[in-house]
Every structure is written in C-alpha cells, then in structure tokens.
Amino acid sequence: MALTEQEASIVALFLESAAWGVFLVTFGLCLRSLLSTKSGLKSWSEINRPMLLVGLTMPIFATLAVALNTIRALESLGPTGISEQFTNLGSAAEVLKFICVNMQTLIGDGILTYRCWIVYGKSWTVAAVPALLWIGTLVTTVLNIVVISHIHSEALTAPTSLRPIISSFWGISIALNVITTCLIVARIYTVDRMAYRHSVTRLSGSHSGRLNGLQRTMRIIIESGAIYTSVAIITCATYVSGSIAVYITSALEVQTAGIAFNLIIIRVHNRSHDEETRYMNVSTPLYFIKGSGQTDTEI
C-alpha cells in the first residue's frame, strides 16, 4: 500500500531522528579526533581549522532539519491538516527545510573539493572540474530557494518549474562526489607507488604495513563517499519519479552528509594512532611528496 504524504512525513521523522542520533555520536567522536591526541588536547596551531569549522557547522543544519520535520509532522495533525502542510512549498518551514538539505549538501561537496585540492598540492588544474561542479550546485541551490519561495499551492512532487532545477542539483552533486572521490583515491594510489619505488631497496621489510595503511585510507574514503552518494542517488531517483518517498530520502540525506564527513575524520584519526608513517599524523592524516622534498599538504 502506498504511503500518504502524512504517513511519509511521520516515517521520515522517525528515520531522520534515528540517523540524527547516529550523527550526534559521530559528531562527538569527530570533535575528539580533531581537538585531542593520546597525550592531551592539541594546541590551536595543531588543529585542522577548516575541518573543525565544517564539523561545527554541519550539526546546525542537521538539528534544524529534525526540528522542522517535527514541526511539520505535528502541524499536519492539527486543524489545518495535510492540505496546508504539504501543498504550501513557499511556507517559511518548507523553505528552511530546503535550505538545510541544500546547505548540508553544499558543505559536504565543498569539503570534498577542498580535500581534492589539498591532496594534489593545492593545484587548481586538477581541482578545476570539482570546483566548477560545486559552483553548479551553488547556483542550483539559489535557484531552488528562489523558485520554491513563490510556490504556494503545490506539493513537493508536483511543480514542473522546480523539477529541472532539483534534478540538476542532485545530478551535479552526484557527479562531483564520484569524480572527486576517484581523483583523491587515484592520488593516494600514485603516491604509494612512488614511495614504494623509492623505498623498496632500503626498507625491504616495511612496505607491507605502509601499503596496508594506504589501502585502508583509500577504503575509508571510498566507503564514506559511497554512503553519501548512494543516498543522494536514491533521493534524486525518488524525486524524479514523483514518489512520496522523497520526503524520507531527503530527510536522511541531511544526516548522511554529516555522518560521512565525521566517519572519515574518525577512522583516519584512529588509524593514524595505530600506524605511524611519514604520510600521516593525528591532525593531518595524509602527507604527500613533491619531487625530492616534503610538503605540509594535509587532509
């Protein structure tokens, strides 16, 4: 039996609340990873400030999204009922909900682009495509908000004026995630191969552990990227198909973006405690070699 919009909203609230709980747990662990080491708190100069800023911003939109879904679910049971809550996209609550989804996606895509830029030695030549795609998501976000704020008599799955914009937003975001994740993984793999060729004759017995470490780094990035990208693809598919399930998938997407970010920080930080290599430390997990010298490139 197909869900009604009211039922979908309640299911979305339940699943989003569960995901929000997971997000809060990973958020706490992420902060610990960013702010401390085994020996104690890091000094301000040791803290990866861009990651800390993102880590503190994502909970704002994640929590606001849960609050807005709670308000929508409660008000749909009130005197105005379903017709008011699900056919007035231009209401303040619905516009704020769109802002939460879009901003969380923008932040996640932005930090992925930043990581790609850093990993490639701050080269805009490589990061140009991800950066242009991110600008595309920004433009479609602005268009989303402008158009939706003028729609007061249709449900989310109905307006034809909104469909091309939202579809473009998710399509660009998915492409950015796939391309940028592949670029980062390719860079890590290349650095590993280069390091192996330079060290194999001198450190014949030590490559295996280091190789496993870099392989785990690649796996962490791939797995976290796959979590978020999978939810984004499902969200895009449910919207394009006009399914009521878009209320559920879009609610989960807000939390998944934050969870994926936190997991990368946590898992790389934990691994850096177990495997001390010249390519990583607790505050900046990945280091890369440029020519014959070392760089302070960090993720």
What integer pLDDT is reported at residue 283 of this predicted model?
42
Q: Which parts of the chain have pLDDT scores under 50?
A: 204-206, 211, 276-285, 289, 291-297
CATH class of 5-294: mainly alpha
What integer pLDDT is reported at residue 1 of this predicted model?
56
* 57 touches 23 (CB < 8 A): no
Identify the residue whose tokens are 């391309």: 179
Q: What percent of the chain has pLDDT over 70?
A: 77
What integer pLDDT is reported at residue 176 of this predicted model?
97
If 0-12 CB within 10 Å is exposed, 13-18 middle and 19+ buried, where does residue 146 land? exposed
What integer pLDDT is reported at residue 93 of this predicted model?
82
What integer pLDDT is reported at residue 128 of this predicted model?
95
What integer pLDDT is reported at residue 158 of this predicted model?
54
What integer pLDDT is reported at residue 282 of this predicted model?
40
The C-alpha atoms of residue 16 and residue 244 are separated, in whole angstroms, by 16
- pLDDT digits over 189-238, tens only? 888 777 667 665 555 444 555 545 677 788 888 889 899 999 999 999 99
- Torsion-angle region of 121 (φ positive above 0: left; ψ -120 to 50: alpha; else: beta): left
